[in-house]
């Protein structure tokens, strides 16, 4: 699946213009209000951003992974809250249905996901199951033609906006094999939301707990219709998500580098531009080289992702997606840190924006699998090979 080159170039140019003309000027508003303005969300729907990764037959734009990464790179160049509005529809919220859902489930949900009418959110993490996702405790007991769900999901991105969750719960015994993925409409009786999480950064993104108390979900809402396959669905979704986050990280690195170069050209000390000092140039050079390495990794891995059969898992590609996630999210942390350093005292002041990106990118090393989980996946795969 991919969009033809001409249409894709047009889309990319439109996204670039949208970021430059609409999103960057609204960054301060998002930071102040902790909210993405409704008119911007409407524009995003009109542009088709909610359906970037959904095939055309289900109402989306149908980008390949390589194309999606290019769009994610652009979106990284503004406040991450903007992408977050539709990020779960493009990635972790919808992909389980697309990869493993029945044809009926795809037809029922994906067109509304693609249009932005239905916000999807991904509910895996729990108070006692973060990195150890297979230890999740949310129970799903079969009762007639419904499952009854009880449990708590934590740090759920877009939960306050969601019309439905892709939610992992335990239908069987211990471990990964006992987990199923459900499509859970958010308006079912027994679902309530916790208080909005107060976060270090990424103002304008919405996360909170999702509490399930005797929620009756039709058995027909198990993704793919077969219980016990939910953990693998979640892992496949995360492989893909990790690559998207890697591309996003490169985008933020590009923005911070642009801000840093602009400041180094303008700011004068000791009678000259600070960018003419080699010690400042060294910081810019390190950031540029690391960004280039990260982006090359993303492009290579995305090509490999597109080359494998759709919806199937390939341990080599999963391992490389973890390499990209680990390298790019750590890389953008270093780039943001240098960005603050190049700005000197101004880098600590909110008005100069690098301070904001410095806080915002900290999350990238945590969600969709911490750096340590990526190391574990890479190391295990290397040890598994003959
Ligand atoms: N694609 C498809 N299947 C996969 C897979 C992948 N990428 N990774 C694992 N699986 C399968 C395994 O093959 C195994 O199947 P079998 O039982 O048939 O052999 C099953 O899933 C269990 O896998 P594994 O034994 O590797 O599970 P572990 O509990 O050891 O944990 C990690 C695996 C740590 C990698 C997993 O729990 C993980 O990714 N944790 C981080 C979770 C995360 O990213 N959370 C973020 C929340 S969303 S923002």
Residue 282 Cα to ligand 1 middle (Å) = 40
Nearest CA to ligand 1 atom 15: 232
**Which residues lie with the beta carbon below 6 Å from any ligand 1 atom?**
124-125, 131, 133-134, 176-177, 231-232, 235-236, 238-239, 313, 318, 367-369, 373, 376-377
End-to-end Cα separation, the chain, in angstroms: 32
- Distance between CA atoms of 369 and 125, rounded to whole angstroms? 11
Atom of ligand 1 nearest to the CA of 370: 44
Q: Which two tokens stand for residue 258?
A: 């642009």
Nearest CA to ligand 1 atom 5: 235
What is the per-residue pLDDT for 287?
Answer: 98
Whether pTM > 0.85 for this model: the answer is: yes
Range list of β-strands (E), the chain: 120-123, 139-143, 146-157, 164-170, 179-185, 191-193, 207-218, 268-269, 272-273
Atom of ligand 1 nearest to the CA of 377: 35
Classified as helix, coil or strand, 61 is coil
Residue 289 C-alpha from the chain's centroid: 24
pLDDT digits (tens, 9 = 90+) for 222-260: 999 999 999 999 999 999 999 999 999 999 999 999 999
- Residue ranges of domains in the chain, CATH in brackets: 5-115 (1.10.540.10), 120-227 (2.40.110.10), 231-384 (1.20.140.10)
- Distance between CA atoms of 117 and 114, rounded to whole angstroms? 8
CA-wise closest residue to 327 among 377, 381, 374? 374
What is the per-residue pLDDT for 375?
Answer: 98
What is the per-residue pLDDT for 1?
Answer: 86
Active-site residue flag, 368? yes
Give the CA dihedral 180, 182, 188, 190, nearest 10 degrees.
20
- Distance between CA atoms of 104 and 107, rounded to whole angstroms? 5
Residue 353 Cα to ligand 1 middle (Å) = 37
What is the per-residue pLDDT for 386?
Answer: 80
Geometric angle at alpha carbon 276, from 275 and 282, rounded to 5°: 65
Residue ranges for the chain with pLDDT beneath 70: none
What is the per-residue pLDDT for 331?
Answer: 98
Residue 89 Cα to ligand 1 middle (Å) = 22
Classified as helix, coil or strand, 190 is coil
H helix or E strand, kind and range, residue 115: helix 103-115
- Distance between CA atoms of 91 and 122, rounded to whole angstroms? 9
Atom of ligand 1 nearest to the CA of 318: 7
Atom of ligand 1 nearest to the CA of 239: 7
Backbone angles phi, psi at 384, to 5 degrees: -75, -30
């Amino acid at each position: 699946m991919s969009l033809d080159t001409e249409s894709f170039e047009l889309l990319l140019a439109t996204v670039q213009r949208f970021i430059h003309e609409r999103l960057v000027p609204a960054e301060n508003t998002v930071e102040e209000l902790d909210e993405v303005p409704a008119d911007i969300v409407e524009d995003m729907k009109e542009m088709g951003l909610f359906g970037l990764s959904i095939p055309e037959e289900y109402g989306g734009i149908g980008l390949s992974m390589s194309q999606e990464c290019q769009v994610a790179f652009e979106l990284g160049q503004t406040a991450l809250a903007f992408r977050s509005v539709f990020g779960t529809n493009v990635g972790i919220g919808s992909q389980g249905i697309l990869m493993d859902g029945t044809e009926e489930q795809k037809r029922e949900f994906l067109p509304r996901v693609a249009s932005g009418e239905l916000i999807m959110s991904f509910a895996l993490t729990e108070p006692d199951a973060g990195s150890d996702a297979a230890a999740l405790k949310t129970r799903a007991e079969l009762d007639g033609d419904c499952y009854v769900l009880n449990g708590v999901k934590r740090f759920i991105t877009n939960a306050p906006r969601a019309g439905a969750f892709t939610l992992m719960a335990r239908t069987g015994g211990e471990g990964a094999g006992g987990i199923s993925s459900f499509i859970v409409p958010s308006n079912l009786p027994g679902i309530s939301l916790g208080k909005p999480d107060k976060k270090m950064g990424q103002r304008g993104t919405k996360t909170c707990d999702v509490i399930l108390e005797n929620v009756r979900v039709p058995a027909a809402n198990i993704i793919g219709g077969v219980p016990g396959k939910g953990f693998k669905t979640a892992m496949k979704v995360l492989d893909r998500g990790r690559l998207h986050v890697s591309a996003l990280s490169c985008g933020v690195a590009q923005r911070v580098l642009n801000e840093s170069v602009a400041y180094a050209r303008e700011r004068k000390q000791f009678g000259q531009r600070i960018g003419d000092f080699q010690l400042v140039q060294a910081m810019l050079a390190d950031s540029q080289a690391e960004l280039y390495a990260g982006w090359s990794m993303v492009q290579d891995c995305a090509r490999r992702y597109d080359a494998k059969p759709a919806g199937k898992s390939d341990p080599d590609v999963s391992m490389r997606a973890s390499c990209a996630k680990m390298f790019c999210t750590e890389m953008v942390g270093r780039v943001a840190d240098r960005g603050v350093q190049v700005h000197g005292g101004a880098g600590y002041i909110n008005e100069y924006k690098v301070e904001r990106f410095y806080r915002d990118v900290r999350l990238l090393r945590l969600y969709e699998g911490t750096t340590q989980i990526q190391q574990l996946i890479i190391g295990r795969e290397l040890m598994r090979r003959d």
